[in-house]
Amino acid sequence: MNRGFDRVLGTDVVVVGSGVAGLTTALAVQGRRVVLVNKGSLGDGSTWWAQGGVAAPISEDDSPDLFAADTIAVGGGLNDPSAVATLSAGAVAAIDRLRGRGARFDMSPGGGLDLGREAGHSVRRIVRTGGDATGAEVSRALTDAAARAEHITVVEQLFVADVVLAGGHAVGVTGRGAGEEQVLIEAAAVVMATGGLGRIYANTTNPIEVTGDGLAMARRAGAKVADVEFVQFHPTALSAGLDPMPLLTEALRGEGAVLVDDDGVRFMVEEHRAADLAPRDVVARAVWRRLRAGRKVYLDARDAIGEDLPERFPTVFATCTRAGIDPRRELMPVEPAAHYLMGGVAVDLSGRTSVPGLWAVGEVSRSGVHGANRLASNSLLEGLVFAEAVADDVAAAAPFELDGEARPPGPEPDTDLDAVSTLRRVMWDQVGLVRTRGGLTDALATIEGILSRLPAEPSEARNMAEVAFLVTTAASTRTESRGAHYRADFPLADPQWDHSLVLG
């Protein structure tokens, strides 16, 4: 039993990923031992990069019902109302718990939380830190709390390769550590909290470690996935030749910054009644069309924010300064970039997948909160709220005996850089903001060719290709346009598609 592994760990719960969802799950599990695994360092991933904030119905002119209505209005009719109700009802308590764990947020002169406004929100309800450094503060508070928690064992620099199954039940994970160390972690409950898949696209705001690992592992284990055709493209990434592309937070537009073309025209006024605060999919495609036509697009914050930029948006100001741009006096060149996956591993309100013993939470999951398009600043909130439900559920998980031999993942295969580059380019060109039958067919053929030449052993490159195949298959199947999924050959929403697309 278990021969071939250099190290074997036993625990009650193994959580894979240390962003907001993984950290909150690990911290919230009561009375159980938790191993928290990350393929990089503790806190790596998209959470640290999040600028906008955390949405919550805190003000007197807000309510959970209004918040839920805004979330559903943006979601293209595919939100699960019960999931949205859970999110909106749990938002304020999630903020309170986060503050109790040490997170510090911007305060108003009156002593309350200083709330911002973003696209799709009826009122100001965005809780922020430092104007545009909310993710970094959330990550700091949660990683500090996890490092102090006696029930959590942190394992860093471990690439988790696959879920271990026994009788169709998840009983642990295998991984590859430094120096090709082969690791087995046996657990009564396995929680995937690995984030999204932005790195499968040539243009993305996601850090380099966001390669779709959890989605690929869960699918290989037999879990159903849903709504993976809905990839959100953020409309305002700084166009400065960097990878990942720096995000210019939507909060800038919430405070009055506007999009203009190279003639200085505010084109969003003609695109949507909410102009620059239209839903992200609308704004992103409007920017994309102008870029495809050979125009340039800029974000103009000079009049709305101007000299206050360094104080109100220090992250954005520092990013622009490094790129040689002074946003107080100059326009910021922008283009869309892959930002967030609305779909993922299909789960219920407790985070349970279709595989017993396997849970998923955060961006890797399809909880039903986002539907076809995510409302701004609902991503961190989803991780905070649903991680508590997952923690309650996994705390009651009973051990399931590993009754066979778990296979070590083997040595890390050499990364095929040409294959990865080709994959990212075809996904951006053919499975990006605007899709067609011909483009999707060509993309599937390219991805299948890449999969045939990659080693079968688990790797980031293999995971990227497998999740790219899932996204492209789903995009080919959904013959309509809805939310972040736009088919130029089927440009209208079709009532026959008023449901989630489940694969597996």
355 within 8 A of 400, measured Cβ to Cβ: no
Rounded CA-CA distance 230/65 in Å is 25
Q: How far apart are CA 381 and CA 494, in angstroms?
A: 30
Helix then strand count (H, E) for the chain reads 14, 18
DSSP type of residue 199: G
Q: Which residues contact 100 (CB under 8 A, 6 or more apart)?
A: none
- Nearest CA to 132 out of 110, 120, 114, 144 is that of 114
Query: Active-site residue 374, yes or no?
Result: no
| Positions of E strands within 125-246 | 126-127, 152-155, 159-166, 169-176, 182-192, 225-226, 231-238
* Catalytic option among 32, 117, 128, 280: 280
Distance CA 177, CA 39 (A): 8
What are the φ/ψ torsions at residue 433 (nearest 5 degrees)? -70, -35
| Pick from 140, 114, 109: nearest CA to 127 | 114
- Please state, as a whole number, how many other Cβ atoms lie within 10 Å of the Cβ of residue 401: 10
Q: Which two tokens stand for residue 321?
A: 């300064």
Catalytic site positions: 280
